[in-house]
Chain A
Amino acid sequence: MSKKPESTFMNMVIRLFIIVGLAGAVLGFVYIQTFDVIAAAKKKKLEEAIGQVVPAFDTLNVYTRMPATGKDSITFYEAYKNDSLVGTAIATYTEKGFSGVFKIMVGFDPQGVIINTSVLEHKETPGLGDKMDKSKSDWSIQFNGKDPKTYKLTVTKDGGDVDAITAATISSRAFCDATDRAYKTYKEKGGNDNE
């Protein structure tokens, strides 16, 4: 076994520098190699989420808006088929989740009726709050085909029309909050005329 280099100042600086430089080079290489794959995977995930909440489409018109309440902007994906609007997917969020912010996608038809919803990312409790995800339970199906003009987007405990998830009222409330934020911002725009 060869002798270890002594811990002199120059030794330490130069050798650590070489190690860090090599590590940086490897990371840069992997980053460039995976950049396109990651972008494609993210895009595919987003398009799948949009496809779940609006009917089949061929072009998307993307823009963002600031909701009346909340800290961040929300993104609209207007789905067109043969130049006519078939629905709007809205990537909305809530800050009221049991474990903080979570993001969902809500699809509205041109009349403002909810087509479908899907959960984009969340940190809610497994076995309780995560039942809002369609892969865990069909709780969120109750939103489909409802017009928030007549359907109150709050849980029954708060006088609304939504049945909360058993033992996960906070997550249910947050889900309603996100949906409501999407609807209000969508309506603010006045249907589908301007912008």
Chain B
Amino acid sequence: MNSIVQNLTKGLIKENPVFVLLLGLCPTLGVTTSAINGLGMGLATTFVLMMSNMSISMVKNFIPDKVRIPAFIVIIASFVTVVDLLMQGYLQALHGQLGLFIPLIVVNCIVLGRAEAFASKNNIFDSIIDGLGMGLGFSLALTILGGIREILGSGAIFGIPLHIFPVDDKGNPITMIVFVLAPGAFIVLGYLIAITKKINSK
């Protein structure tokens, strides 16, 4: 029982994929201009992680060692395409925002990293839990990052205006635009990594 909880929660802070393992930084920095984008990307990745961890754990004794990486990639790419198709059909608006980054989940090192480090050595149930935990940690990281950038850069959270910034003569809030641009992503990420280090070193 303990190991299940441990597998589930280690991804949140102790082994957080973004803040501690520093994996998957391309989508992390690219899509987190708002909290909702971060959450959407995180949940899409969580789904892929769980499904790929499950399937890879199922077929781990079927694949010869020398071709395991191509086999993992095929499995991961299939699930990403499934997510892409489902989002196009049912979540058009979010798909329009995340567009380019959904296919990039294929090459997100978290997914392949967990397949290689965990799912290919553990049973199906543990692998699903590991995928869920890591995925939620990734979602949490992206949502926090996106939320901070959205508050500072657009003066809103989840699209709801907060009215914390002074307004110009046309009524538009004067925000710190740098935070929705690429440099802002690095600045916020740096601080968040430092905070996570502090928490983990206790």
Contacts and interface: CB of A to CB of B under 8 A. Distances in A.
Interface of A: 1-8, 11-12, 15-16, 19-20, 23, 26-27, 30-31, 34, 37-38, 41-42, 45, 121, 125-128, 137, 166-167
Contacts of A121: 96
Nearest to B100: A123
A15 B153 contact: no
Interface of B: 33-34, 59-67, 70-71, 74-75, 77-78, 81-82, 85-86, 88-90, 92, 96, 153-154, 168, 172, 175, 177, 180-181
A26 to B, nearest CB: 6
A37 B90 contact: yes
Contacts, number: 88
A45 to B, nearest CB: 6
Contacts of B153: 126-127
Given A15-B67, A126-B154, A27 B180 contact: no
Contact of A34 (B71, B77, B88, B154): B88
A27 B78 contact: yes
A16 B88 contact: no
Given A12-B64, A166-B172, 18 more contacts: A3-B61, A4-B61, A5-B61, A5-B62, A7-B64, A7-B65, A16-B67, A23-B75, A23-B77, A26-B78, A30-B82, A30-B85, A34-B88, A34-B89, A37-B90, A38-B85, A126-B153, A127-B177
B74 A23 contact: yes
